[in-house]
Amino acid sequence: MAERTATIASRVGLHARPAAIFAEAAGELDLEVTIAREGEPVEEALDASSILSLMGLGAEYGTTVVLRAEGEGADAALDQLVGILETDHDAE
Amino acid sequence: MSETFTGVGVSAGRVIGPVRRMPDPIAAPADGALLPEGITAEQESARLAEATRTVAAGLKERAATATGDAADVLKATALMASDKSLLKSATKLVASGTCAESAIWEAADAVATQLAALGGYMAERATDVLDVRARIVAELRGVPAPGIPDADEPFVLWAADLAPADTATLDPTRVLALVTSGGGPQSHTAIVARSLGLPAIVAAADTVALVDGDVVFVDGIDGTVVRNPGATETALAEAYASRVALPGFDGVGVLSDGHRVPLLANVGSGSDAKDAAAAGAEGVGLLRTEFCFLGRDTEPSHDEQVQAYRAVFEAFGGSKVVVRTLDAGADKPLPFLTDESEPNPALGVRGYRTDAAVPGVLERQLAAIAEAADGTDAEVWTMAPMISTPAEAAAFATLCAAAGLTTPGVMVEVPSAAVMARQVVSEVAFASIGTNDLTQYTMAADRQLGPLAEFNDPWQPAVLHLIQATCDGGAAAAGGPKPVGVCGEAAADPALAVVLVGLGVATLSMNRRALPAVAAILKRVDRTGAQRLAQLALAAGSAAEARTLVRTALPELNVFGL
């Protein structure tokens, strides 16, 4: 199981546009990626490709989340997703 | 064969175009409705998945052609439609024997509730989830998606009536005109149409017979809709299309003989006031202070009020700003001030009357207005809504004096105040006529009721007689003549504005968007001409006759397509 932590860099939190960009990227992978707030049990992790789950997570600017995935290419895939979370998409 | 439908024209303009009907809202499926007989859970799940894919694809396609924020919203909505976790929870319900419509309804409900509980921005997204849900259910049922229809060519939008949520997505470059079978001159449809400058007709009950694709001529001036228009209608639409563009308002309301009629703006917030000042308004004739109060459970603090009022005063430094004190009740209930159990709120404890029921709120508001005025050079006038008797006018003047406000006034909306205008206005410094309510009370016709729309017309000669009485009362007031203004929708109708001036109205206050049209027409008449037209309208037997007589005498209206 590959695992990464990331800190939300978007000023508005993981909402709207940043959430859409992230969910879309997670959905394009051949892997099942989960997302959870740091410290929450693995079994409560949510589907990272679900925009509704992401919004329900209520992750604000500065919140740390944990991404997990299993299988071939998991490490590279998670690195890419961490990159998305740690970019301030509203500053573009 | 052409066929004519009659309604009430609420926003001028003449256009021809194809009809698109506003789809019916999606009704909730029965709670936990079961799978149809002979259908397996697998088949139903596949049907549901297919529907979500179709809705998502449709939204994605629209996102691709949209730009900016709209594109982002559509893209996010498309992702919601194809959301795996939403589909998963709905599929679980299907597996337990629920039909697809009920399953997605319930699953989306749970998500929306969760988002609403997060509050703020997320709570607003709950609406998007419910919109997506309605689209999926519409797809499952094989009915058109809810909301403003999508069409390749601009169209005439038909609806029973339009709510604020419907018009939020109304694109004025795609919609040519609005036609509703219900609603009235003060309905949301009418207000939106005027603010977007779209021709509109409301309360045209027989237009329910119109179907998608019918070609119609919409005459927002005469209040008629013609199905299968002929050469006459085509000529009228062409004349409207080639109308002379209105010159911008130069900031001075004046008749052709130099008689000044200051043109003011109705505003409801500080940013509104800035826009109105930029549009050339000579001041504020009606500051609706409800913006400070509405949607709240408790009275706003003194400092909050001072700040809100000052933002408006600063936008109009050196000019007149008429502040209307809190007008709660009827269609604007406030939990800490009004009693919602009243059987007839329009005739209930509303406007100034709430001061007797809940003393203190008005005094505190007047103190906040006085303090806000102190810091600026705006000329602040204060008036109370729903004054019915000279005693109420006198009591309000006393409250204003105690707060240090030197120019108290009354709104004339109740017929008794118009009839008793001399005595009422003698107690204060000025009066302002609220034509919307004055019309509703004179005609005993609820403003919100479509079937009574014909009564709710400020051209009703009975209303004009009461306006005349108010102006006469103001002129004969004790202590010298006192000015009478108009701050209702009537002032925004350029033809009616001429009549009002002829009746003796000193100032006109309106939506800032109406300023150029009213100013342009006032420039074409002199005071004697306006008085002559006012007499014609007073002598008419009906609103329609009054309007026709006056409009015929003002050919300039057609030049500008008004």
pLDDT tens-digit profile, chain A (92 residues):
899 999 999 887 887 788 889 999 998 888 899 999 998 888 889 999 999 989 888 888 899 999 999 988 899 999 999 999 998 876 54
Helix (H, G, I), strand (E, B) or coil at B253: coil
Q: Which residues of B touch A46 (CB under 8 A)?
A: 85
Nearest to A51 among B79, B118, B122 (CB): B79
Contact B342, B326 (CB under 8 A): no
Predicted pLDDT at B164: 67
B19: β partners: B156
Predicted pLDDT at B165: 65
Q: How near does any CA of chain A get to the CA of B326, in Å?
A: 36
- Asked if B113 has any chain A CB less than 8 Å from its own CB, the reply is no
Predicted pLDDT at A90: 64
Query: Residue B48 is inside which H or E element, if any?
Result: helix B41-65
User: Which residue in B438, B411, B433 sits closest to B507, CA to CA?
Assistant: B433
Catalytic residue IDs of B? 188, 487
- Residues A4 and A79: their CA atoms lie apart, in Å, by 8
Domain boundaries, chain B: 3-22+152-241, 41-141, 263-559
Predicted pLDDT at B54: 95
In A, minimum Cα distance to B122 occurs at A55
- Per-residue tokens: B50: 């297919």
Contact between A55 and B122 using a beta-carbon 8 Å cutoff:
yes
In A, minimum Cα distance to B113 occurs at A56
- Residue-range definition of the domain harbouring residue A77: 2-91
- Per-residue tokens: B529: 């001409």
Domains held by chain A: number: 1
Q: Out of A15, A33, A34, A67, which one is annotated catalytic?
A: A15
Contact between B118 and A56 using a beta-carbon 8 Å cutoff:
yes
Give the A window 27-56 contacts with B, CB below 8 Å. Answer: 27, 46-47, 49-53, 55-56
Please give the distance of CA B392 from its chain centroid, rounded to a whole number.
29
Contact B302, B368 (CB under 8 A): yes
Of all residues in chain B, what percent carry a pLDDT higher than 70?
99
DSSP B300: P
> Does residue B237 have a pLDDT over 60?
yes
Contact A33, B88 (CB under 8 A): no
| φ, ψ of residue B283 in degrees (nearest 5) | 160, -170
Range B490-518 average pLDDT: 94
Least confident of B142-146, B354-358, B449-453: B449-453
Predicted pLDDT at B32: 78
Nearest to A51 among B83, B118, B122 (CB): B83
Contact between A55 and B83 using a beta-carbon 8 Å cutoff:
no
- Residues A89 and A9: their CA atoms lie apart, in Å, by 8
Distance, first Cα to last Cα, chain B: 28
Residue B445: band (very low, low, confident or very high) from pLDDT cuts 50, 70, 90: very high
Q: Which residues of B touch A47 (CB under 8 A)?
A: 84-85
B266: β partners: B286
Nearest to B80 among A12, A49, A51 (CB): A51
Torsion over CA: A77, A80, A85, A86 (sign) = positive
Nearest to B83 among A15, A17, A52 (CB): A52
- Asked if B60 has any chain A CB less than 8 Å from its own CB, the reply is no
Predicted pLDDT at B552: 93
Cα separations in angstroms, B504 against A79, B259, B414, B470, B532: 76, 12, 19, 9, 12
Average pLDDT for chain B: 91
Predicted pLDDT at B521: 96
Torsion over CA: B308, B312, B314, B317 (sign) = negative
Query: Residue B18 is inside which H or E element, if any?
Result: strand B14-21
Q: Is B94 exposed, middle or buried (0-12, 13-18, 19+ CB in 10 A)?
A: buried
Contact B2, B233 (CB under 8 A): yes
Residues 6+ apart with CB under 8 A from B398: none
Contact between A55 and B85 using a beta-carbon 8 Å cutoff:
no
CATH architecture assigned to B41-141: Orthogonal Bundle (1.10)
Work out how many CB contacts closer than 8 A connect A with B.
49
Contact between B76 and A12 using a beta-carbon 8 Å cutoff:
no
Contact B367, B403 (CB under 8 A): yes
Predicted pLDDT at B173: 86
Q: Is B434 exposed, middle or buried (0-12, 13-18, 19+ CB in 10 A)?
A: buried
Predicted pLDDT at A91: 58
What is the strand order of the sheet B175-180 is part of? B3-6, B224-227, B215-219, B14-21, B155-159, B175-180, B200-202, B8-11
- Asked if B246 has any chain A CB less than 8 Å from its own CB, the reply is no
Considering only the top CATH level, what class is B3-22+152-241?
alpha beta
B307-337 core/surface letters (b: 16 or more CB in 10 A; e: else):
ebbbbbbbbbeebbbbbbbbbbbbebebeeb
Range B475-487 average pLDDT: 96
B15: β partners: B218
- Asked if B419 has any chain A CB less than 8 Å from its own CB, the reply is no
Residue B154: band (very low, low, confident or very high) from pLDDT cuts 50, 70, 90: very high
- Per-residue tokens: B548: 């026709």
- Asked if A10 has any chain B CB less than 8 Å from its own CB, the reply is no
Question: Using one digit for the tens of pLDDT, what is the confidence trace for B335-389?
Answer: 778 777 888 888 989 999 999 888 999 999 999 999 999 979 999 999 999 999 9
> Does residue B302 have a pLDDT over 90?
yes
CATH architecture assigned to B263-559: Alpha-Beta Barrel (3.20)
> Does residue B295 have a pLDDT over 80?
no
- Provide the CB-side half-sphere exposure for B202 (13 A, CA): 28
Predicted pLDDT at B168: 66
User: The CATH number of the domain where A72 resides is what?
Assistant: 3.30.1340.10
Least confident of A47-51, B431-435, B440-444, B448-452: B448-452
- Residues B14 and B1: their CA atoms lie apart, in Å, by 20
Cα separations in angstroms, B47 against B36, B55, B92, B231: 12, 12, 14, 50
User: Which residue in B518, B412, B422 sits closest to B463, CA to CA?
Assistant: B412
Contact between A20 and B79 using a beta-carbon 8 Å cutoff:
yes
Range B26-40 average pLDDT: 86
Residue B264: band (very low, low, confident or very high) from pLDDT cuts 50, 70, 90: very high
Predicted pLDDT at B59: 87
Contact B12, B188 (CB under 8 A): no
When comparing pLDDT for B171 and B311, which is higher?
Answer: B311
Nearest to B76 among A51, A53, A58 (CB): A51
DSSP E strands: which ranges in B129-255? 155-159, 175-180, 200-202, 215-219, 224-227
Of all residues in chain B, what percent carry a pLDDT higher than 90?
64
- Residues B150 and B157: their CA atoms lie apart, in Å, by 11
Residues 6+ apart with CB under 8 A from B14: B199, B217, B218, B219, B220, B221, B233, B236, B237, B239, B240, B561
Q: Which residues of A touch B84 (CB under 8 A)?
A: 27, 47, 49-50
Residue B184: band (very low, low, confident or very high) from pLDDT cuts 50, 70, 90: confident
Least confident of B450-454, B508-512, B519-523: B450-454
Contact between A53 and B118 using a beta-carbon 8 Å cutoff:
no
Helix (H, G, I), strand (E, B) or coil at B379: strand
